[in-house]
Chains A and B, each alone.
Chain A
Amino acid sequence: SAVISQKPSRDICQRGTSLTIQCQVDSQVTMMFWYRQQPGQSLTLIATANQGSEATYESGFVIDKFPISRPNLTFSTLTVSNMSPEDSSIYLCSVSGVSETQYFGPGTRLLVL
C-alpha cells in the first residue's frame, strides 16, 4: 500500500489568508485526489489532481478558491485561498495506482478564525 504524508497536519489561520497543503506519496501513483471532510460529515471530493495539467474540479469547487498543483507522480498541493470560517475542515489527499485501491493520507485539520 502507498504511504502518504501531508503537511501541515493541522493549522489555525485567520480569515482572508491562504494555506497550502502538501501531499507526498512514497511511490509513483496514477491518480491523486483531494477531499474535504467537514466536522461530523462524510468526505466530499474537491478535485482530481492531474499531472502537468489543470485539476478537474467537482461541482461546487473552483480553481480560484482551491488551486491545485501536481508537478510529478508523487507530489501535489492544495491551496485554500481567502479563507473563511466555513473552510474549517479536514482536507485529505488520496491516491490510487496500478492496484486501483484508493489510499488516504492522514489529513490536514484546518481551523479558520
Chain B
Amino acid sequence: LAKTTQPISMDSYEGQEVNITCSHNNIATNDYITWYQQFPSQGPRFIIQGYKTKVTNEVASLFIPADRKSSTLSLPRVSLSDTAVYYCLVRPMDTGRRALTFGSGTRLQVQP
C-alpha cells in the first residue's frame, strides 16, 4: 500500500479556505485517494474520494494532479465545527475486502 505524508497540524480562522495537501509518491495505477474526517470522541467519517482531476461534493473538493503523486483536500469557508483530524488514505480499487490503513492525519484547528 502506498504511504501517505501530510502535515501534522494546521491552523485557520473561520471563513477561510483550508487546503490540506497529501503526498503519495508510490501510488499505484489502481489506487483511489480517500479522505476521512474525525471529530474528538467519534469514529472517522468518509468525506470524499477520487482517482484523478477534481471531485467536489457538499463537504469538500479534492484536487488530484495528473501524476497523482499528491492530492489536496479543500474545505471552503471553514467554521469552528470543522476542527477535526483529517486523514488521507490510498486504497486499491478492489479494497472492499481489505481494511483501510491510517496514517497520522492532519489536525486542523479552526479559530474564531
A-B interaction: yes
Chain B, interface size category, equals 10 to 19
Partner of B100, one of A1, A4, A98, A102: A102
Partner of A106, one of B42, B46, B49, B100: B42
User: Across the two chains, which residue of chain B brings its CB closest to A90?
Assistant: B41
A: number of interface residues (CB 8 Å): 26
Whether B112 is near chain A, meaning CB under 8 Å from some CB there, is no
A95 vs B45: C-alpha distance when bound (angstroms): 12
- Against B, the Cβ 8 Å flags (1 = close, 0 = not) of A50-62 are 0000000000000
Contact, CB under 8 Å: B87 / A42: yes
Contact, CB under 8 Å: A92 / B95: no
Please, could you name 18 A-B residue pairs with CB atoms under 8 Å apart, sorted by A?
A1-B46, A35-B99, A42-B105, A43-B44, A44-B102, A92-B43, A94-B99, A96-B95, A96-B96, A97-B96, A100-B96, A101-B46, A101-B49, A102-B46, A102-B99, A105-B43, A106-B42, A109-B41
Q: Which chain B residues have a beta carbon within 8 Å of chain A's beta carbons?
A: 41-46, 49, 87, 95-97, 99-105
